[in-house]
Amino acid sequence: MLEILQIPVLQDNYIYLLQDTDSGLTAAIDPAVADAVIDVLTEKSWQLDYIFNTHHHGDHVGANLQLKQQTGCKIVGSAADQARIPGIDIMLGDGDVVKLGNLSFQVIDTPGHTVGHIVYYCADSQALFCGDTLFSLGCGRLFEGSAEQMWHSLEALKALPAETRIYCAHEYTAANGRFALSVDADNPQLRQRIDQVANLRQQNRPTLPSTIGLELATNPFFRADNVSIRRNIGMTEQSDMAVFRQLRLMKDQFR
């Protein structure tokens, strides 16, 4: 069984601490800062065995070296981006599998936000740890990769089972929802979700995890084929890829 702890840090980051409860092996996903992880490990009497990095940005790898020094953990990351993952020990790419005790995590290459971005999918626990590729009601900015790369990455994630829980690395849902509503105002599920998100945030509660099914129904970046969205942005005849590119440009400029 996979136990998942969500640790809010910095302004809007989430670190995820995972444990295979059968073996006791533990991993941290994208540790931005060390102290918050150490505090939870101490409270739970857990030993950190691995760090799983999705990409090289500082708010995802910032605690790698300190945690490795303090715990002796192994650091897992993208083989394609090994030069930018501090302390990396295990280098993986698309289709590879990393084990946490009895649990298997499939690596999926998802370039776009960065060229070496990867995500970790645990089919046994119906959980996806997707860093900054997919957000609740959004997707990552294209800092290094192309719109084509990001579209193909999102297509790969859309194909996962609808019940898959999405654990992304930032609390962006409310802001993403404002943009989503600007292009998909006719979507009653989106409006309902935005109300739920507002209620959660008023209580200072996280809006994550989401699910693939929920994103398919409400996330405009998963819905480039939607007739209403296409009509609203004046792109009824263009390809899904072209619609996605335009949505991403619009989101970059949205205030």
Give binding residues as ranges: 55, 57, 59-60, 113, 132, 170
- Kindly report the three-state secondary structure assignment for every residue of 156-225: HHHCCCCCCEEEECECCHHHHHHHHHHHCCCCHHHHHHHHHHHHHHHCCCCCCCEEHHHHHHHCHHHCCC
Question: 88-109 burial by CB neighbour count: b if 16+ within 10 A, else e?
Answer: beeebeeebebebbebebbbbb
Give Rg (Cα) of the chain: 18
Annotated binding-site ranges for Zn(2+) = 55, 57, 59-60, 113, 132, 170
Distance CA 172, CA 138 (A): 8
Inter-residue contact 93 to 106 (CB < 8 Å): no
Residue type, 89: D
- CA gap 255, 252 in Å, rounded: 9
DSSP designation for 30: S
Tell me the C-alpha distance between 221 and 1, whole Å. 32
